[in-house]
Amino acid sequence: MTFETLGWQGLVILVIFGLSLLIATYCTYAERVIAAFMQDRVGPDRAGPYGLAQPLADAVKMFTKEEFFPGGASKALFTFGPCLAMTTALMSSAVIPFGNAVQFGSTVVHLQGIEINVGMLYVFGIVSLGVYGVMIGGWASNNKFSLLGAIRAASQNISYELAMGLALIAVLMISGTLSLREITLQQASDAPFVWRDIFNWNIMKQPLGFIIFLVCAFAETNRTPFDLPECETELVGGYHTEYSSMKLGLYLFSEYINIFVVSAVMSVLYFGGFNFPFQYEFRDWLASSRGLELITAQNIITVLGAVGLFAKIFAFIFFFMWVRWTLPRFRYDQLMRLGWTILIPLAIFNILLTGGLITTGIIK
């Protein structure tokens, strides 16, 4: 890798980092607007035009609030917990391919922080570390409600990571790789049949696996109807009961970053990532009819692919918010029963079914 390419990749990493923060910031605004629409009331409309400055006002409030440490709490761990939750949330987006490559002369820049051949394992490993931030914060608060919320978060994450991992195995059996870029590229097709791209997406081959993955994603991100670790009616505020100021902000912010990351992962694994229908036909049309160089036409396709991927991500983020303001919260025993007695057996059945379909040549 040349020094110039290294500089471009560094710029891409900074852009991905900034985009993750920006999207998480405005997810808080979108959540309030959607909640207001569903509850037939006026949403944020005071700070800036259409309330668009509300997230900035929230950030100022969080930064200027009084720092508070509960009596008997471990101050170091009390501070380390939200920092760890935030750090792991930001690290997990590094291997997601947000677009194909753009080329400037002899320089090729991949729209991905870093490409590793075990990208999916990396995401799972980093996301799994996030629960330690919740556990440490809950234990360090010296509060029984916080500790109970943290224990719930840990047991919930372990239970649903099993089913999520088993659902992912079926995708890996089809693709044969752990690289998220490779999985995305395998879902593209330059066959003459223009809609072939959509039929090549893994959602067509793994509908059951996608449903299992989607349900587990709600549990992994502690979103309603699985937000038991912060259940207000039973645990006050759950693991962040004693938190205030920016430490509470880091916990809340990391939740929205996790939603963004898991939406991106689902888009890449099941919905073709940055691929979109007619992409090769459109590239050839740009090159032949508009007289553009093939490299320029491919760069335009890459930009459109990145826009398409973000459209898929925003659709999933909206779905997360829609469900939150539509469905009631599960009881804890219902949550555990769903994970261990329904999702895990279904995921094992999906692996066996996928193996049978691959063996018989029905799916490749």
Spatial distance between the Cα atoms of 318 and 312, rounded to a whole number of angstroms: 10
Bridge partners of 108? 103
Name the range with the highest mean pLDDT among 103-112, 210-219, 271-280: 210-219
**What's the pLDDT score for residue 316?**
94
Q: What's the chain's average pLDDT?
A: 85
Q: Which of 251, 237, 224, 215 is nearest to 133 (CA)?
A: 251
**What's the pLDDT score for residue 314?**
94
Spatial distance between the Cα atoms of 102 and 104, rounded to a whole number of angstroms: 7
Would you call 316 helix, strand, or coil by DSSP? helix
Do 197 and 188 meet the contact criterion of CB atoms below 8 Å apart? yes
Q: What is the pLDDT of residues 319-350, one digit of tens each?
A: 999 998 888 888 888 888 888 899 999 999 99
Q: Which of 220, 255, 225 is nearest to 240 (CA)?
A: 255
**What's the pLDDT score for residue 318?**
93
Q: Is pLDDT above 90 for 311?
A: yes
pLDDT grade for 18, boundaries at 50, 70 and 90: confident
Q: What is the pLDDT of residues 99-126, one digit of tens each?
A: 888 887 777 888 888 888 888 888 888 8
| Mean local confidence (pLDDT), 233-247 | 78
Q: Report phi then psi at 108, rounded to 5.
A: -110, 125
Higher pLDDT, 285 or 211: 211
Quote the pTM value. Answer: 0.89
- Name the residue type at position 112: Q
Do 97 and 308 meet the contact criterion of CB atoms below 8 Å apart? no
Q: Is pLDDT above 80 for 264?
A: yes
Tell me, what DSSP letter sits at residue 192?
Answer: S
**What's the pLDDT score for residue 196?**
59
| Mean local confidence (pLDDT), 117-140 | 84
Q: Is pLDDT above 70 for 6?
A: yes
Which of 192-196, 212-216, 304-308 is predicted with the least confidence, judged by mean pLDDT? 192-196
Higher pLDDT, 353 or 66: 353
Q: What is the pLDDT of residues 295-307, one digit of tens each?
A: 888 889 889 999 9
**What's the pLDDT score for residue 45?**
85
Spatial distance between the Cα atoms of 81 and 183, rounded to a whole number of angstroms: 34
**What's the pLDDT score for residue 100?**
85
**Helix 207-220 vs helix 144-175: crossing angle, to nearest 10:** 160
Would you call 108 helix, strand, or coil by DSSP? strand
